[in-house]
Amino acid sequence: MAVRREVYLDHAATTPLHPEVQKEMCHILENTFGNPSSLHFYGRAAKQQLELARTRVAALIGARPEEIIFTSGGTESDNLAVIGAAFAGRSKGRHIITSAIEHHAVLDTCVMLARNGFDVTYLPVDKDGFVDPLDVRKAIRRDTVLITIMHANNEIGTIEPIPEIGRIAREHEITFHTDAVQTVGYIPVHVDALNVDLLSLSAHKIYGPKGVGALYIRKGTRIQPLLHGGGQEREYRPGTENLPGIVGLGKAAEVAARDLPGESARYRMLCDRLIRGIKERIPDAKLNGHPEQRLPHNVNFSFCGTKGECLLVGLDQQGIAVSTGSACSSGASQLSHVLKEIGLTPELGAGTIRMTVGRSNKEEDIDYVLDALVELVERQRAFDEKV
Ligand SMILES: *Cc1c(COP(=O)(O)O)cnc(C)c1O
């Protein structure tokens, strides 16, 4: 039996604070309490930090600082983009196009809008999780005011053809939003290369603090704010700013931009090792999501004849943290909307786990996880055969 390790493989859910981020946040907490809107030097010091953070976030995604609005996280950024663009476009029409595999922050927001007079088209995806740009083109109507398609899926890791969809949106002069919470900091993200008007990102997925994020709003894009009050964030997001959080996001963005090429290649290497090992030792395991067009840090597998929750618990007992593809609601395990959409049967979907690597993971961790996982899958299958 190998020595017990602690292996965190749930970086798509959240990441720990990077030490450099923590240091910068502590410095702000200790030294800079001013309100960035105040005109005296306490305020000016805070304002300077706020704008430095804005510059750093803008640099990470190829935007201009004045196009960055700070929010309370990915969820709020998605809500602000989708509701904001839908409301701003009401005089033109009430049709929205999205995909069936969006994060709930987009999906549930669209459901709310549909209950309030909007018409929403949910595009299907293929077995690898791809949205077909042709389907987007076909779904466009005269009254379409918003297209919102995620950059990469948080469960299965598939990277969507955003530049192409963006080109189609632009041809039709329709506002285009992408939820890039899973891609920013992991693969190169440039708002002009992606042809997007609105882009959501979140700090805690890139080694920043929880409860802070940003929305990129391309100059000239019309959106209505969700909150009303002061004039902060150019009135798109009023309220005194969460300065320590924003400074943390700014530092996380700077570190991400600096380390992206090396870390991204390292994540890819670790995931390749994990995928190769699983395929070799559990030949009937099914890799979910596209084999190549996927996030460098995401591995998602289904093992027939197993239960994801049981695998999660078994791995947890050995110090390994993963997540499943199903949410346990009222005792019965419910297949996630994403796994359902890519066509997994309830049986196969139930045996699904997601493993997402990050900074702390090393090759030895992957080998440790492989041994533990293979044994658990075999044990579960053997047990099922007996009963
Ligand atoms: C985590 C996540 C969100 C939500 O971000 P929060 O900052 O936790 O609100 C939205 N979209 C995707 C794709 C995510 O992975």
Of 81-90, 99-108, 140-149, 325-334, the one with minimum mean pLDDT is: 325-334
Short-list 355, 364, 365, CA closest to 303: 355
Q: Is the pLDDT of residue 188 over 90?
A: yes
Atom of ligand 1 nearest to the CA of 202: 7
Residue 110 a catalytic site member: no
Ligand 1 contact via 54 beta carbon (within 6 Å): no
Gyration radius from the chain CA atoms: 22
Secondary structure in 3-state letters for 216-261? EECCCCCCCCCCCCCCCHHHCCCCCCCHHHHHHHHHHHHHHHHHHH
Q: Quickly name the fold that domain 7-16+260-386 has.
A: Aspartate Aminotransferase, domain 1 (3.90.1150)
Per-residue model confidence (pLDDT) at position 384: 74
Give the CA diameter of the chain. Answer: 75
Per-residue model confidence (pLDDT) at position 333: 64
Separation of CA 121 and ligand 1 centre (Å): 22
Per-residue model confidence (pLDDT) at position 2: 61
Question: What percent of the chain clears pLDDT 70, i.e. is strictly above it?
Answer: 97
Atom 3 of ligand 1: nearest residue by CA position: 74
Mean pLDDT of the 115-125 span: 98
3-state secondary structure of 8: strand
Per-residue model confidence (pLDDT) at position 127: 98
pLDDT-based confidence at 334, cuts 50/70/90?
confident
- Render pLDDT for 253-310 as a digit per residue (tens, 0 to 9): 999 999 999 999 999 999 999 999 999 999 999 999 999 999 999 999 999 999 999 9
- Render pLDDT for 122-144 as a digit per residue (tens, 0 to 9): 999 999 999 999 999 999 999 99
pLDDT-based confidence at 106, cuts 50/70/90?
very high
Per-residue model confidence (pLDDT) at position 385: 72
> 7-16+260-386 with 19-255: one CATH topology?
no
CATH of 19-255, one of 3.30.70.1350, 3.40.640.10, 3.40.50.880, 3.30.750.24: 3.40.640.10
Instruction: Give, for ligand 1, the residue of 179, 187, 298, 354 to mutate: max count of ligand atoms closer than 8 Å to Cβ.
Output: 179
Separation of CA 74 and ligand 1 centre (Å): 5
Q: Is the pLDDT of residue 331 over 60?
A: no
Indicate the pTM of the whole model. Answer: 0.97
Residues 6+ apart with CB under 8 A from 150: 99, 101, 102, 103, 106, 160, 178, 179, 180, 182
pLDDT-based confidence at 387, cuts 50/70/90?
low
Mean pLDDT of the 84-92 span: 97
Per-residue model confidence (pLDDT) at position 322: 98
Per-residue model confidence (pLDDT) at position 4: 85
The H or E element spanning position 277 is helix 243-281
Mean pLDDT across the chain:
96
- Render pLDDT for 18-56 as a digit per residue (tens, 0 to 9): 999 999 999 999 999 999 999 999 999 999 999 999 999
Q: Is the pLDDT of residue 72 over 80?
A: yes
pLDDT-based confidence at 327, cuts 50/70/90?
low
Ligand 1 contact via 73 beta carbon (within 6 Å): yes
Atom 14 of ligand 1: nearest residue by CA position: 181
Mean pLDDT of the 184-209 span: 98
The structural domains of the chain, with segments of one domain joined by +, span: 7-16+260-386, 19-255
